[in-house]
Every structure is written in C-alpha cells, then in structure tokens.
Structure 1
Amino acid sequence: MSAFRSLDKVLDLAVIGCFILMILTVCLQVFARYALPWSPPWTEELARFAFIYMVSLGTGLAIKDRSYVNVDILLQSLGERKRVILDSFILMLIILLMGLMLWYSIPLIRIVQLQQSASLKINMALIYLSMFFMALLVILYAYLELIKNVNHIRNSR
C-alpha cells in the first residue's frame, strides 16, 4: 500500500499545483483587464486546462476519501452489512462507467491529436488525455475501496 500512498501524495501535489496555477492565471487575467491596456489571450485557456486537470486528477482522491457529493439517506437507514453491500454495488457501477469512459476516451484522444489549442498551441490530445487519467484513477481507487468492502463483509461474518 505504500505505492498507493506515494501515488496519493503525487496526486495531492498535482491537484494543488493545478489549483495554484489556475488561481494565479485568473488573477493575472483580472489584473491585466483592469490595470493594463491589454490582457494576455492565453490566460483563459491556461486556467481552463489547469481546472480540467485539477478535477481529473482529484476525482480518484475523492473516491478514496469518500469526499464526493452523495445522497446517503438510503445508506443511513440500512444496517452495517447491507450498507457495505450497497456501497460495493455503487463502486462496481462506478468502475463500469469509468471503464466505458476509459474505453471511449482512447479514440477521442486519437481524433484530436492533430489539433492545437487556440492560444497556447498545446496538442489537444494532452488535454483530452485528462479523461483517460481520470477514468484510470477512479477505477483504481474504486477497486481499492471495493476490496476494503469485501474484506469488511468477510470479517463481519
């Protein structure tokens, strides 16, 4: 599990870095709009790309920490064992949906690999690659949570 702790730390740093980059870029854009006679055209695009990667890399961590938005009224009304079983079913659905996203992101990345972003001239495949990374990370962390649930069910018998 130490490899996953290292991955957690790398993802934490990447998400924080993307957040700081996004905030600094937006601040530069606001400052330039009001204080300078011109504003850099690339700031909006860079902020958007930083936001995309911040969300994509942070989604796996949200699965691990269970810090995503959910409605748990039904889960609270169930007993411990049924709650873990329902949670496991939800995790399997998440893995299935992210598997579809992973599968369909590959042809999409191939389609856009010849395109460049308007201002920064970044290959758009690098931006669309965020979908692939997000799906991969969510599958990984949902699978790890599913293993925890299965072990919890086995140990509670």
Structure 2
Amino acid sequence: MSKVNQFINHIEEGIAVISMIMASILIFIQVVLRYLFNYSLIWSEETARFLIIWLVLIGSSIAVREKGHATVDALVTFLPPAGKKVFSVFANLAGIVFCLILIWTGVEMVSSVVELGNVTPALGVPMAIPYLSIPVGGGLMLFRFLQMLFIDVKRSYSDEEEHPEEVVEK
C-alpha cells in the first residue's frame, strides 16, 4: 500500500505544481500582452481558469492528506480522548459521503456534457476535460478520507489492545 500511496502522492503533487506554474505563467503573459502591447490571447484566460479548477480539486485531496482543511474544534477540544476519536471517525465518514456525492454528480455532469458534445468556447476542446476534474478530485479525496478513517479505526483498536483495563472501566 505504501508504494501506491507514494505514487498517488507524486501524481497529486505533480498535477498541482504543473497547474499552478502553467496558470501563473499564462496569467502573467496575458497581463504583459494586454497592458504593454494592447494585445491579448483569446485562449489564455480559459486555459488558466481550467488549470486553476484542476489545481483546487487536486489540492483539496492534498489538504485532506495533510489534514490541512479548516476545522471547527471548539467542542472537540473539551471532549475526552474517546470522544475525540468518535468525532474524528464521524468527520471522516461525513467527508466520505460528501466525496461520494461529488463523484456521483461529477460523473453525471461529465456524461451529460459528452452526450451533448459541448466544447469550450476559446479552446474548442471537449467540456468533459475541465468537468472531469470534479469526479477525479472527488475520487482522490475519497481515497484520502478512507485512509484517514482506516488510520483512526486502527489507532482506536490498537489503543484498546494496549490498555484493555481502560476499555472495561468505560
């Protein structure tokens, strides 16, 4: 599992870095062309927009992996360790449900766009390519939430094995 995890890490980070660099370069070139030469590239804004969309959805998966999402933990900080574990499992389950909904609606949207044959206005590429970022990002986030759930459950189980007297007392 470690090699698969490392492979997915590299893919996520590679897509995120390439998307960020390409979008930044395109936006910079567009600004220079527009303000210095009074000329603009028709396709650059659309391309940068789609790159940023891919970056955000892939970056969301990286944020789940790094536990970098914003959390509201005012209540959780006052809970005992067992309560924190329960809330962590609940949060991961809620994330999994969200990702399943995101994947489901994303796949429906992509298939609808493919059926209609829509293309982007400036680039002329199939709209399915930018829309594909939704189920792909959702799938990567789902993978990360499942990993986090597995870690939480495994950690809870190993804590019970290490301290069986505490489990009996509860």
2:144 paired with 1:144? no
> 1:6 is matched with which residue?
7
- 1:8-36: per-residue Cα shift (whole Å, max 9, x none)? 01211110110001111110111011111
Alpha-carbon distance in structure 1 between the residues aligned to 2:138 and 2:38: 42
2:90 paired with 1:74? no
Q: Which runs of 4+ in 1 moved over 2 A?
A: none
Letter aligned with residue 146 of structure 1: L
Q: How does 1:53-132 map to 2 (within 5 A)?
A: 53-113=54-114, 114-132=117-135
Most deviating of 144-153 and 108-117: 108-117
**Residues matched between the structures, number:** 157
Could you tell me how far 1:124 is from its partner in structure 2? 0.4
Alpha-carbon distance in structure 2 between the residues aligned to 1:32 and 1:75: 51
Query: Aligned Cα RMSD in Å?
Result: 1.1
Could you tell me how far 1:75 is from its partner in structure 2? 2.2
Could you tell me how far 1:112 is from its partner in structure 2? 1.3
Could you tell me how far 1:37 is from its partner in structure 2? 2.5
* Ranges in structure 2 where 5+ consecutive residues have no aligned partner: 161-170
- TM-score, structure 1 as length reference: 0.95
> 1:43 is matched with which residue?
44
Could you tell me how far 1:79 is from its partner in structure 2? 2.1
Alpha-carbon distance in structure 2 between the residues aligned to 1:76 and 1:148: 20
Secondary structure in structure 2 of the residue aligned to 1:122: coil
- 1:115-153: per-residue Cα shift (whole Å, max 9, x none)? 111111111001111001011111110000000000111
Q: Which has the larger radius of gyration?
A: 2
Alpha-carbon distance in structure 2 between the residues aligned to 1:144 and 1:72: 21
Alpha-carbon distance in structure 1 between the residues aligned to 2:86 and 2:34: 53
Secondary structure in structure 1 of the residue aligned to 2:13: helix
> 1:29 is matched with which residue?
30
